[in-house]
Amino acid sequence: MNIAYLRPPRGLRDYPPEIWGRIKYLGESFLELASLWGYREVEAPALEKLEILEKKAGPNVRDEIYWFKDKGGRELGLIFDYTVPLARYIAANPSLPKPIKWCYFGRVWRYDEPQAGRWREFWQFGVELIGSDKVDADAEVIALMVKCLEKVGVPEPKLMVCDRRLVMSALDTMGIDKSIRYEVLRVIDKKKKISPEEFRDMLAKLGLEGKADDISEFSSTLVPFNEAYEAASNYDNNIAVFFRELSEILNEYGVIEKVFLDCSIVRGLDYYTGLVFEAFCSGGDRLSRLAIGGGGRYDELIGLYRKPGVPATGFALGVDRIAMALTSREMNKVNIVNLYYMDKSFRGYAIMVAEQLRRNKIPVVLDFYSKSIRDSLKQADKRGYRFQIIIGRKEFGENKVTLKDLVEKTQETLTIEEAITRIRST
């Protein structure tokens, strides 16, 4: 049989424990932090009406949606993010008290060309703050995004921020016709992914060959965000003032050093109306070029489904890509205890120990299949378990266990209560 027959469809992947464990750990860590900021967890249907998904997402979005006609002839699609279905729900329920602070962790689908770090099915964590147009709301979601990345140890996280209103003002200053500005935004959005020659060629196809230098100079602006006021004041004084207040709040949150003004950030989805941002991290050429998250303000999206509109902002993190970036041993080892007993006569004691650990919320694998301590340790290491408990004649006689920490490379003989305390302290 051809082994390819047993692989998932192109662009999808399997989730064995070593992959799913990392994704689940990250998602739960982000949800835990978001709850401390007052965000409540929600879920969304996997399927939406195609017309809902296409609303204000851009002319090419249908090509990126897994869509089909159901048996009743209705056009449906798998969600490509959570923002659209949540916006649709809020439009359907206008009496919800605002501001609304929701968070989520789930899978989404996009019919992109698969490549390293890009799948057609992937996992997102995100937050939506709906009902406030204040700069404080923008600052909160940016600060929370940074705090999420810091919490799980993402290497050297950076947030690249811009504002679509600033870009439009710059294009107005350059005399770019309004009818092609969204096409120019799409070219700018691709700037970091293509060569300078390709960038110029794409602008030339829009009839902007003579404006290419001006557009390139503007979109190359990259400064620490505490210098954003000066950079923006050349094009739009109102946005410059907005940036100055945003910078002050981000400084109060203690994240300003991680935030930069990058005028090549415009985001691909047309529902963004103001502030936009993307997150990056270190991790080699491949990872450093991939955004691990993004977001921004979408004040008009909810109003497209039902008037009146509602101001809104939020972000989403690509959990799969963040899992790629994290290679620390803490992510490689999970706090599962592999419990091996050396003789059948110790089985009852081993089961009692396992049950006591489980009552204390400590996961335990009762190893009754390994042929030796050496074999048991080998299996624990292969499976990524952090702890090994060994029960032999000495441990059985003293009502104790031998606990090995496979990360710290330590070994101790302890009472069951001491072992529980030791495991919980990691």
Q: Give the pLDDT confidence of 328-375 residue by residue, as tens digits.
A: 434 556 678 999 999 999 999 999 999 999 999 999 999 999 999 999
Q: Which DSSP category does 55 fall into?
A: T
Return d(Cα 95, Cα 237) in angstroms, integer: 36
Return d(Cα 41, Cα 36) in angstroms, integer: 12
Is the pLDDT at 404 greater than 90? The verdict is yes
Q: Residue 287's pLDDT is what?
A: 58
CB 295 within 8 A of CB 265: no
Q: What pLDDT band is residue 61 in, cutting at 50, 70 and 90?
A: confident
CB 334 within 8 A of CB 160: no
Q: Residue 329's pLDDT is what?
A: 38
Q: Residue 317's pLDDT is what?
A: 98
CB 370 within 8 A of CB 318: no
Candidate from 79-88, 89-98, 173-182, 386-395 with smallest mean pLDDT? 173-182
Q: Taking the domains of the chain in order of start, what are their residue ranges?
A: 3-325, 334-424
- Separation in Å, CA 168 to CA 4, 57, 293, 296, 303: 48, 18, 23, 16, 22
pLDDT digits (tens, 9 = 90+) for 164-189: 999 999 999 999 988 898 889 889 98
Q: Residue 162's pLDDT is what?
A: 96
Q: Which DSSP category does 209 fall into?
A: G
Do the first three CATH levels of 3-325 and 334-424 match, i.e. the same topology? no
Q: Which of 295, 296, 299 is nearest to 311 (CA)?
A: 299
- Separation in Å, CA 34 to CA 28, 107, 128, 203, 314: 10, 18, 11, 41, 12
CB 280 within 8 A of CB 90: no
Average pLDDT of the residues of the chain: 92
Q: Which homologous superfamily is 3-325 in?
A: Bira Bifunctional Protein; Domain 2 (3.30.930.10)
Residue 202: count other Cβ atoms within 10 Å of its Cβ.
19
CB 167 within 8 A of CB 185: yes
Q: Residue 167's pLDDT is what?
A: 93
Q: Residue 282's pLDDT is what?
A: 81
- Rounded to 10 deg, the angle between the 181-189 and 164-173 helix axes is 120
Candidate from 260-264, 265-269, 377-381 with smallest mean pLDDT? 265-269
Residue linked to tokens 């998904």: 53
- H helix count then E strand count, the chain: 18, 17
CATH architecture of the domain 334-424 equals: 3-Layer(aba) Sandwich (3.40)
Q: Is the backbone of residue 262 left (phi > 0), alpha (psi -120 to 50) or beta? A: beta
Is the pLDDT at 114 greater than 80? The verdict is yes
pLDDT digits (tens, 9 = 90+) for 290-335: 899 999 999 999 999 999 899 999 999 999 999 988 864 345 566 7
Q: Residue 330's pLDDT is what?
A: 45
Q: Residue 288's pLDDT is what?
A: 63
